[in-house]
Amino acid sequence: MTSWRHRRRRLWTVAVATFFSVVTFLHQTQLSNYTVHALVPGYFYNPSAEISISGHEYSFQILGDLDVIASWYELSELEKCFRKQEGKPYLKSCSVYCPGCNNNIIFYLSNELSNASNKNALILGVSPFTLVRMSSKLLQYKFPSQQLVVYYSMESPLRMHKWNERVQRIRFHIDMTYMDSSNISLPYATTRETSIADAGIFPPKTGLIAWMGSNCVKEVFWPRMEFIRELGKYVKIDSYGKCGNMSCLPRLSTKCTDMLQKYKFYLALENSECDQYITEKFWASSLRNHVVPIVYGPRKEDYQKLAPKNSFIHVSDFDSTADLARYIKFLDQNDEAYRSYFKWKTSTKVVQLYPKLQLSYFCRVIPILNNDMRGLPVRRVSDLSWFNSCRNKINKRFQPSDVATLESWMPWR
């Protein structure tokens, strides 16, 4: 296989020639240095709508349908909150107390914009497929003068645009995404210093590499499956889910993530080449399970900025899949070198924030509501750093045939 570096020189030569010719708290796991925070620190979530509080009360509407959010693992906490009784299709409001500002938020779930007119905030994007269906009405929606409209997304912009071309025209005041440039930043996880060490704790390792995926081709924006098949020519990869020949269900269940602990490596390959788009594949599936993630999606510098030091292997560090495979084999045969990828556990703790989404995260909207909103401009999604953060700029409806072949592709550096 031709090396990526050689192809890059070859493509650069062609590009130059062309140029001159014409002229991108509360749940914890058993692992001492990996905490799953259901809440943003400092905020307390109370699932009862009948709590007694002092301070101001706000009302927020989430644009969504109960049946739609029920199909999303990431939104399962919201579904439980809004259902009056398990298994019953009845809605109730949900209450969140925000002690940081001594305020209460009453949340309502509705796909009717007519219900939003008297709400302090309207939250768009929590239910992406509701957003698809409501896009035309949203483009005509007139914002009440004292209402704050929040655009929320934990998906990559490429995937959101694939679902809904009109998303780029949707208007809002503030955004809430995984990017640090957002008005409210909600990364999938973050890190903290810790004095608790468990770097020496290792589950038995009987497998080499695992990969788990259900999004195979239709919503993948680089030649991921071709890359996995090519790597599989050199090293054994156990592939789980719709994209492989092995199964573990439910996909994001504790049973499936715990199963990964028996592997040395996990292919934490994102569906999109977009800045800071580092999802649970890296945090929950890999670091939580004492597995070394082999990563790709954002550039290496984003992982260096957000992840524990020396905790991952980035695809762009190698000239070819064969070179990557040789390094994997080296680590497999050298325990000291392999264990060096876990030294971060002696000083660093991972705090997982997503999934699952908690309504308490929206407490961070209140300080913005408490300030004078008249200075907040109405923006469009297409203006966001999030929307423009990908290697391949969004200018048309994506088709799987738009993805480069592995032969013509090279990693984003």
Q: From the CB of residue 177, how many other CB atoms can be counted at a distance below 10 Å? A: 27
Q: What pTM was computed for the model? A: 0.87
CATH code, domain with 235: 3.40.50.11660
Residues 160 and 238 in one domain: no
Residue at a domain's end among 334, 350, 366 = 350
Residue 131 falls within a domain, yes or no? yes
Residues 201 and 344 in one domain: yes
Residues 314 and 359 in one domain: no
Residue at a domain's end among 350, 370, 404 = 350
Residues 140 and 227 in one domain: no
Q: What is the torsion angle, in degrees rounded to the nearest 10, for the CA atoms of residue 99, residue 105, residue 107 and residue 113?
A: -140
Contact 225, 299 (CB under 8 A): no
CATH code, domain with 161: 3.40.50
Q: Which residue has the higher pLDDT, 251 or 16?
A: 251
Residue 255 falls within a domain, yes or no? yes
What residue numbers bound the domain in which 66 lies? Answer: 34-190+355-383
User: What's the token pair of residue 144?
Assistant: 């009440």
Is beta strand 171-172 parallel, antiparallel or unpaired with respect to 379-380? antiparallel
pLDDT of 71 > 70? The answer is yes
Residue 51 falls within a domain, yes or no? yes
Residues 171 and 315 in one domain: no
Residues 376 and 321 in one domain: no
Residue 7 falls within a domain, yes or no? no
For 250-297, how does the pLDDT look when each residue is reduced to its tens digit (9 = 90+)?
766 778 877 899 999 999 999 999 999 999 999 999 998 999 999 999
- Map residue 281 onto helix, strand or coil: helix
d(CA 207, CA 263) in angstroms, rounded, equals 4
For 124-160, how does the pLDDT look when each residue is reduced to its tens digit (9 = 90+)?
999 999 999 999 999 999 999 889 999 999 999 999 9
Residues 346 and 370 in one domain: no
Residues 359 and 339 in one domain: no
> Span 297-314, mean pLDDT?
98
Q: Kindly report the backbone phi and psi dihedral angles of residue 266, in degrees, each rounded to the nearest multiple of 5, phi listed first.
A: -135, 135
Residues 311 and 374 in one domain: no
Residue 18 falls within a domain, yes or no? no
**Residue 31's pLDDT band (cuts 50, 70, 90):** very low
Burial letters 353-377, b for 16+ CB under 10 A, else e: bbbbbbbbbbbbbbebbeeeeeeee
Residue 22 falls within a domain, yes or no? no
Residues 43 and 115 in one domain: yes
Residues 200 and 186 in one domain: no
Number of domains making up the chain? 2
**Residue 4's pLDDT band (cuts 50, 70, 90):** low
Residue 284 falls within a domain, yes or no? yes
Residues 177 and 243 in one domain: no
Burial letters 297-320, b for 16+ CB under 10 A, else e: bbbbebbeebbbeebbbbbeebbb
> Span 236-247, mean pLDDT?
92
- Which has the closest alpha carbon to 69: 274, 357, 398? 357
Q: Which residue has the higher pLDDT, 167 or 44?
A: 167
pLDDT of 27 > 50? The answer is no
Residue 11 falls within a domain, yes or no? no
